[in-house]
Amino acid sequence: MLPMTCYLGPLTVVNSEDQFKKILPALRDEPILGFDTETKPCFRKGDVHLPSIMQLATENHIYILQLDYVPLNILLGEIMANPDQIKAGVAIGEDMRQLSMRFPFTPHGHIDLSKIAERNNIASRGLRTMLAAFFGQRISKGAQCSNWSNPKLTQKQLIYAATDAWIGRKLYLRMLELGLLQKL
């Protein structure tokens, strides 16, 4: 069995516009962001929820933005639309589409790592399977179906969310190192 891993570094939960403005320079200065979102699960047919949180991983920090409290506004839209800044994650096209329903922006600079794996004939295309294939590690998905719209996220939720964005960035860097991104 592969060893477990999770993100245990610095983490900031951002739940106000003032907090967001304070972290904005750190996000703008980062050339590669690990990216993911989490959405309140739907248990009834026809229910639809937009993302509750967005996770952004820099080289040394994870930011978890609670989107019900931090409006996806023009400042965040600029980051998500910046073609010169990489936002890397797995199956992020739908995440971007849903985020743009919260605030209109045209996503640029996003790299879907599952599509990179597909273009390079790599069978592993999910976050967990790519982590296993590229790093020989596994992660817990226990908090995946929890309520991400809660105003106070649990420690388990925070670690889960931070880990997904952190791994997205790690996978991007590994794929870059291996020359797999040349087939973009």
Q: pLDDT tens, 29-83?
A: 999 999 999 987 755 676 677 899 999 999 999 999 999 888 767 788 889 999 9
pLDDT given for residue 74 in this prediction:
79
Q: What is the pLDDT of residues 174-184, one digit of tens each?
A: 999 999 987 54
Structure tokens of 100?
């743009």
pLDDT given for residue 143 in this prediction:
56
pLDDT band for position 144 (cuts 50, 70, 90):
low
pLDDT band for position 145 (cuts 50, 70, 90):
low
Q: What percent of the chain has pLDDT over 90?
A: 64
pLDDT given for residue 42 in this prediction:
58
Question: Distance between CA atoms of 75 and 104, rounded to whole angstroms?
Answer: 12
User: Phi, psi at residue 41, to the nearest 5°?
Assistant: -65, 150
pTM as predicted:
0.92
Q: What is the pLDDT of residues 114-129, one digit of tens each?
A: 999 999 998 888 888 9
Query: Is the pLDDT reported for residue 162 higher than 80?
Result: yes
Query: Is the pLDDT reported for residue 101 higher than 90?
Result: no
Query: Is the pLDDT reported for residue 8 higher than 70?
Result: yes
